[in-house]
């Protein structure tokens, strides 16, 4: 049986922030509209403010369903799963608010030194119900590593915006211009409405701010300590190979240590026997 709470218990708050992936579900008001569920998985993008408020950094992608649905009706549920023991499923129901890139609220939550490349909004959730259930039907999975494909792709889009801004004359009275194939152009192409035609992004593309993330350096993602970055081409296989190689090295080391111990013990035993043989004739 699930356990329900009116606020997030401290133990669940700590567990939530340690997970590598979560799911966000929303739906339009229309009975014919498409329900949406989106997986989210970039480390450091989900935050618990207090027992009834959470927010996550919404990274640019090909869809805009969550923003569109939250803007229309506010309904949202966020789910976390345990993939190792003990089993657990946690759901957070709440009312969401969207703060797009370029707004004061977005800048307060995500200044350049905290913003991931491609962040287009902050999804803030006022949580009113929490559930924790067994999750016995969820299979075991081992976390291999994070993908860096989306981050690098967004970094490239933002670099075009920055280069465009440096090469364009400054005119505060003019409508902001943007790179032809930059981040804003992608928003305009794919993020303006949901698959049901609901409005998507409203203001980020009109902002005169140039997207910037100081979580990247020289075009490369600054890796978090102890985090494995998995490459898109054969990355999972390579990560598994590294793990197997590590296990093999451990076995070799253990074997060598065993030989050393056996050798020392053999020499010690031989020395004892020599002493006994030396004293036995004189007894």
What is the spatial distance between Cα 212 and Cα 240, in angstroms, rounded to a whole number? 34
pLDDT of residue 176: 78
pLDDT of residue 224: 47
User: What single string gives the DSSP state of each residue in 87-128?
Assistant: P-EEEEEEEEEEEETTSHHHHHH--TTTPPTTEEEEEEEEEE
What is the spatial distance between Cα 265 and Cα 251, in angstroms, rounded to a whole number? 21
Averages of pLDDT over each 10 residues, the chain, 283 residues: 96 96 98 98 94 98 98 99 93 99 98 96 99 95 92 96 88 77 97 98 94 73 45 40 48 66 60 51 46
Say what the pTM is: 0.78
Per the CB < 8 A criterion, the answer to whether 98 and 71 are in contact is yes
pLDDT of residue 235: 41
pLDDT of residue 169: 72
Q: Is the peptide bond before 86 cis (omega within 30 degrees of 0)?
A: yes
Per the CB < 8 A criterion, the answer to whether 200 and 68 are in contact is yes
**Domain assignments of the chain as residue spans, ordered by start:** 3-218
What is the spatial distance between Cα 192 and Cα 204, in angstroms, rounded to a whole number? 10
pLDDT of residue 227: 41
pLDDT of residue 218: 52
* Orientation angle between helical segments 149-167 and 183-190, nearest 10 degrees: 110
- Domain at 3-218: CATH code: 2.30.110.10
pLDDT of residue 63: 97
């Amino acid at each position: 049986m699930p356990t329900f709470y009116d606020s997030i218990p401290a133990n669940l708050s700590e567990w939530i922030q340690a997970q590598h992936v979560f799911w966000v579900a929303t739906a339009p008001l229309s009975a014919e509209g498409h329900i949406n569920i989106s997986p989210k998985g970039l480390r450091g993008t989900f935050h618990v403010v207090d027992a009834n408020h959470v927010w996550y950094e919404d990274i640019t992608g090909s869809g805009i369903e969550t923003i569109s649905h939250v803007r229309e009706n506010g309904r949202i549920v966020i789910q976390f799963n345990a993939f190792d023991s003990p089993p657990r499923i946690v759901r957070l129901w709440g009312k969401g608010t969207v703060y797009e890139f370029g707004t004061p609220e977005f800048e307060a939550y995500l200044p350049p030194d905290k913003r991931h490349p491609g962040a287009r909004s902050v999804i803030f959730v006022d949580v009113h119900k929490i559930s924790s259930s067994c999750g016995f039907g969820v299979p075991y999975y081992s976390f291999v590593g994070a993908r860096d494909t989306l981050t690098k792709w967004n970094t490239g889009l933002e670099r075009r915006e920055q280069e465009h801004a440096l090469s364009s004359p400054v005119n505060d009275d003019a409508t902001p211009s943007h790179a032809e194939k930059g981040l804003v152009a992608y928003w305009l192409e794919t993020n303006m409405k949901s698959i049901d035609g609901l409005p998507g992004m409203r203001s980020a593309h009109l902002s005169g701010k140039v997207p910037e993330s100081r979580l990247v350096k020289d075009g490369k993602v600054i890796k978090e300590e102890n985090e494995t970055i998995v490459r898109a081409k054969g990355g999972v296989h390579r990560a598994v190979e590294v793990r197997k190689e590590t296990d093999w090295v451990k076995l070799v080391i253990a074997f060598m240590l065993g030989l050393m111990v056996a050798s020392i013990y053999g020499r010690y035993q031989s020395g004892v026997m020599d002493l006994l043989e030396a004293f036995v004739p004189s007894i």
